[in-house]
Structure 1
């Protein structure tokens, strides 16, 4: 697993944990950067990604809600929401991640972390966001 993939997985962990605990994910990421709870320090991309998601939280949630057919954000598994938020941020706002890579990485992480149905759902929703990206940014 490459460094960027590990950074994404850690960002998803932080987004998931923050939502589960009712915390601000950006604050949690900064806290973990200052006082690590693991031997390995946070990759700078993890912090960038979490802060990017938090900074565009409403826009990302609006896009996910608008383009997920038949699924509200609350109805999605928690880990899927975290993966989708990160993937949507990378597609819509990250300048250094190609759309195809963002979608592919999200699908791989969903395969590893979520249900059997999640990779297909995440691929379809993020692919739709890629299609409509010019109208969103």
Structure 2
């Protein structure tokens, strides 16, 4: 059976990971996302992977809506400022919040699960639980765009 647009897919996970790479580098080096994304794409070998357009749309979408995304995270991150979050967690949260608020074809549980799974792989032991709680509150209460 073919995967529908609302289901999880390995290609979308790879796209999220690529978007995270770009956002992480931009955040860590304090560079514009577009500059880092352009350099990232320039370094890629051909043929480019099928999931690349979704990765680019995530990075560009987070960049375009960053103020609202960060404001949403700050509102729902109980006891945490966005600056205190580990860079990986902050950018995983940004990707997931972009999907929650701006990508209607991604179901909320999928966006949350994907962020949590990437946090298990790439961040601290506390990160998956933290992101799960934060993103769950955002999914329940933040207005969609």
How far, CA to CA, are the matches of 1:55 and 1:70 in structure 2?
A: 26
Q: Is the 8 A contact 2:26 2:36 kept in 1?
A: yes
Structure 2: stretches of 5+ with no match in the other structure: 1-8
| Structure-2 separation of matches of 1:44 and 1:20 | 23
CA RMSD of aligned residues (A): 1.7
Q: Which residue is equivalent to 1:17?
A: 25
Against the structure 1 CA distance between its residues 38 and 120, is the aligned structure 2 distance closer, same or farther, given a 3 Å change threshold?
farther
Shift, 1:25, TM fit: 1.3
Listed as ranges, the gaps of 5+ residues in structure 1 are: none
Matched, 1:108 2:136: no
Q: CA deviation at 1:61?
A: 0.3
Give CA-to-partner distance per residue, 1:98-126, whole Å, 9 cap, x none. Answer: 11100000000000000000000000000
1:25 and 1:51 in contact (8 A); partners too: yes
The answer to whether the Cα contact below 8 Å between 2:22 and 2:40 also exists between their aligned partners in 1 is no
Separation in structure 1 between the aligned mates of residue 122 and residue 23 of structure 2, nearest angstrom: 14
TM-score between the two structures when normalised by the length of structure 2: 0.86
Q: TM-score, normalising length from structure 1?
A: 0.91
CA change 1:28–1:40 in 2 (3 A) is farther
Count of residues in Structure 1 that have an aligned counterpart in Structure 2: 135
Pairing of 1:49-128 with structure 2 (within 5 A): 49-128=58-137
**Higher RCO (C-alpha under 8 Å, 6+ residues apart):** 2
Question: Which residue is equivalent to 2:11?
Answer: 3
